[in-house]
Amino acid sequence: MILVTGGLGFIGSHASVSLLNAGYDVLIVDDLSNSSIDVLDRIEAIAGRRPLFEQMSLLDETRLADIFQRHHPSAVMHFAAFKAVAESIQTPLAYYNNNIGGTLALLSRMQIAGVRSFVFSSSATVYGSPATLPIKENFPRSATNPYGRSKLIVEDILTDLVASDPSWRIANLRYFNPVGAHESGLLGEQPRGTPNNLMPYLLQVAAGQRARLDVFGSDYPTKDGSCVRDFIHVVDLAEGHVAAIRYLKEHVGMTSFNLGVGRGISVLELCEAFERSTGQSLPRQVAGRRAGDVAECWADADKASAELGWQATRGVEVMCQDAWRWQCYLDRREDSRETSGEPAK
Ligand code: UD1
């Protein structure tokens, strides 16, 4: 039984499907602060099995203790966290409380229960503005906002924990830019309010819900002046987590892995790929730079390939097509709710 925190969120829901497909039993813990309960039905529809589910915050220590006692998980995958950079600058205490406090409560409970295998959702944001590319796992780390710092601090806590007790098995996974959706079109990213990230915003523009995409910056020292990122299909990312769970069976200590494709794609290239692969037009205009963006960021993915035996296989066209299928599903659902008078979730 794998305990998946934040298992109804964008990445956690795909990881839950991959775990179920690989034969693991899954217990999802999610407080629904940025997800909805019907994701559980869709995970079941895709995987053919329903994960166990508990709606709760990790900060509820009594319930957390009860869950470990009743279910005896063999490993924990920890996705539950806030992730919006701008919001983290407005409400740093909420970010530190949830992202660090929640992780501390979870790790403390694992220690008491004797559960020592942990997969952590970190981010390429911990590399700040890299001096050279591609980015390797041993590059210096830094943070420029509370969200990034919360990831950095948890990484340091995990390092200290392993130093105190080398029987811990920790895979620290640094995600590059997860996009795309499950190929069924039933799972994907569903941000509340105006999306901050590129792909969800782009999808709403293509769906006609927003007038146009602002491309933030055209004067970066990159191939076409727009920023370059390592966009990775969320199902590839999810499969990387299954590889990490298998890896932890054989390895003690803490190891960090980049989960990326290992290739940089510019914002403009992504827009073109989207139009080409979906046939949808994407009205866009060049806008000023967004504060805090780095020009280029892509992974050296060799370590994950060599040690986890995992690499991303889905190309940018598939990322765009799957994401578009998900957007169409959301739009159809919205339409049927409007006709039936049902409130949107
Ligand atoms: C962002 C966060 C990062 C976090 C990650 C996952 C910032 C600075 N970084 O990464 O810490 O780990 O999300 O949540 O917020 N873009 C546009 N128009 C848009 C939206 C984005 O041109 O409407 C551009 C951005 O300038 C950037 C690229 O698209 O160059 C990707 O942006 P985004 O999807 O927000 O990801 P990151 O900024 O790479």
Low-confidence ranges of the chain (pLDDT < 50): none
SS (HEC) of 48-65: CCCCEEEECCCCCHHHHH
Instruction: Give residue 343's pLDDT.
Output: 61
The response to whether residue 123 sits with its C-beta less than 6 Å from ligand 1 reads yes
The token pair at 272 is 């073109």
| Annotated catalytic residue within 147, 220, 247, 329 | 147
The token pair at 305 is 């390939």
pLDDT digits (tens, 9 = 90+) for 188-198: 999 999 999 99
Greatest pairwise CA separation for the chain in angstroms:
59
Give the separation between CA 78 and CA 162, rounded to whole angstroms: 17
19, β-bridge pairs = none
Tell me if 158 sits within 8 A of 174, measured CB to CB.
no
- 95 has catalytic annotation: no
Instruction: Give residue 337's pLDDT.
Output: 81
| DSSP-assigned letter for residue 119 | E
**Architecture in CATH of 2-336:** 3-Layer(aba) Sandwich (3.40)
Which residue has the CA at smallest separation from atom 31 of ligand 1? 198
The response to whether residue 201 sits with its C-beta less than 6 Å from ligand 1 reads yes
Strands 117-123 and 169-175: parallel
How many other C-beta atoms are found inside a 10 Å radius of the C-beta of residue 327?
24
pLDDT digits (tens, 9 = 90+) for 154-208: 999 999 999 999 999 999 999 999 999 999 999 999 999 999 999 999 999 999 9
Helix (H) or strand (E) holding 39: helix 38-47
Instruction: Give residue 338's pLDDT.
Output: 79
Instruction: Give residue 336's pLDDT.
Output: 84
Instruction: Give residue 88's pLDDT.
Output: 97
* Residue ranges with strand state E in 1-94: 2-5, 26-30, 52-55, 75-78
Domain boundary assignment for the chain: 2-336
| This model's pTM is above 0.95 | yes
